Structure 1
């Protein structure tokens, strides 16, 4: 069940991060103040909704036997971690800690960002599968 869950969560992530993310959200989600937080939380809410739909599709179409509490916890985990990662400071701090200044200067932050998101998705899929 882990593999099916991970694929569903990853597709939901891609949909939410690319075609369903507005230009405003992308430009402002890491910004200071109310505007930044509104953009960030709207983007995280998109992830919550799309992930919930993806899990519901997996349950309905694939017959996945998912514990509803585990699924809800996984969806919340994805929304919260996505919001924090997209504030950008965790990625910047990691790249400083890992001594990746050159990688950062050549577009590496986007790769580290996506790796952090995928790690959070894998943890969610493992938790949902393990608790179901």
Structure 2
């Protein structure tokens, strides 16, 4: 079940990060103040909604996907919270500085580290759902 749940979460994530993320959210989600936090939280909520829809559809059509409501709600809360945190951008910048990747960060590497961090968080959610 782990692989199916991970793929469903990843598809929901990609949908929320690309076709369903507004230009306003992309520009302001790391910003300070009400505008930044509103953009960040609405973007994270889009992730929760689309990942939830993907999991629900998967549970309906895939025999090996069986999800209980409370653990799934917890996993979706994890997805939204970690996504909002990572998208503040400073965690990725701080990691890249720590890992001595500042040159790569200046040449587009931050987007790859960002997506890797999101995939790791999704993997943890999928592992949790597969284990309960």
TM-score by length of 1: 0.97
2:124 is aligned to 123
1:45 is aligned to 45
State the SS of the aligned residue for 1:99: coil
Provide the aligned C-alpha RMSD in A.
0.6
State the SS of the aligned residue for 1:106: helix
Report the count of equivalent residues.
131
CA distance in 2, matches of 1:85, 1:65: 29
Question: Deviation at 1:36?
Answer: 0.2
Deviations 1:42-84 (A, max 9, x none): 1001001101101110111113211222111110000000000
CA distance in 2, matches of 1:108, 1:51: 25
1:4 is aligned to 4
CA distance in 1, matches of 2:113, 2:91: 10
1:22 is aligned to 22
TM-score by length of 2: 0.97
What is the correspondence of 1:1-132 to structure 2 with a 5 Å cutoff?
1-63=1-63, 64-131=65-132
Question: Deviation at 1:38?
Answer: 0.4
Any gaps of 5 or more consecutive residues in structure 2? Answer: none
State the SS of the aligned residue for 1:80: helix
Any gaps of 5 or more consecutive residues in structure 1? Answer: none
More deviation, 59-68/39-48 = 59-68
